[in-house]
Amino acid sequence: MIEFYTLGTSSAVPTDKRNLSSNFLNFQGDKMLFDCGEGTQKSLMIHNLGLMNIDKIFITHWHADHFSGLLGLVQTMGMEGRERPLFIYGPERTEEFTKKLLELGYYNRNYDIFAENLEPGDVVEDKDFQVKAVETKHRVTSVGYVFEEKSKKKVSRKKMEELGLEPCQEIGILKEGKEVKIDGETYRPEQLVSVVKGRKIVYTGDTEFSENIIKESRDADLLVHDSTFTEELRQEGRYGHSSALQAAKVAKKAGVKKLVLTHFSRRFANSTRKLLEEASSVFENVVAAEDGQKFEIKPHRP
């Protein structure tokens, strides 16, 4: 199971109900943050997500509402005795800004922090997944992120049932591309095994409507999209962000499974109903995120 939490859903300034931009992803014990706005570490504690186990932080851009929780989080990790390194990724100047941030104040840190600038198209590789930085359209240099589980060879349970097969050691050998014999019958890999595409999550950070986000979001399980205001407000001259309607259009064109609206203007602090109604008029499977809301993505099956 992949768990994705929208820890902070307000834009620019926090409200009494919403922290600033922050999202937490747990993939089989690999825990990471996407943005780290004010209130992040408190949300991590409230929802018992284990802030000490976070190893990667991906910053979309260096507006304060997307990184203002970073210094406190780093210091708390130090006070709690962290020893293993922390990796911080983001667009150009991430190395510079991280260095400046770490020079503020008096505190002891006994672990390493490595910062890396990413260009659109750069990929952070791990054993079972990758995170790709993608181009977005904002007022300052920014990127979005595509988390993608690597494809795997899986045996179809349905095909096993059709062939009258029970789980056994030989079934596992089929995934290695070898024929096997079970009860005197020969079975080939192509009869039972197929390559299953991994799960995919896209987080835009702050962006205007973007054809590139449509391309990068194709068939995503979850699209977490900037939805700062209504289309009416956008047409009054707002820029640098998307309306809920635009987010829904991206989701529909990209064929995503679920759309999560986030990064709400404080004018919607008491109710996101208008935003949700606007998006729902275009794309059915949509929610307006709350702080601490969890989204689960089950493994893909052949």
Which residues are catalytic, by number?
65
> Integer distance in angstroms from the first to the last C-alpha of the chain?
16
Round to whole Å and give the CA distance between 75 and 64.
18
Round to whole Å and give the CA distance between 296 and 221.
10
Round to whole Å and give the CA distance between 27 and 3.
7
Angle between helices 244-254 and 273-280 (to 10 degrees): 30
Angle between helices 70-79 and 94-102 (to 10 degrees): 50
CA atoms within 13 A on the CB side of 234: 21
Rounded to the nearest 5°, which phi and psi values hold at 214? -60, -50
Residue 170 is encoded by which pair of tokens? 């030989």
The 3-state secondary structure of 274-290, one letter per residue: HHHHHHHCCCCCEEECC
Residue 194 is encoded by which pair of tokens? 């197929």
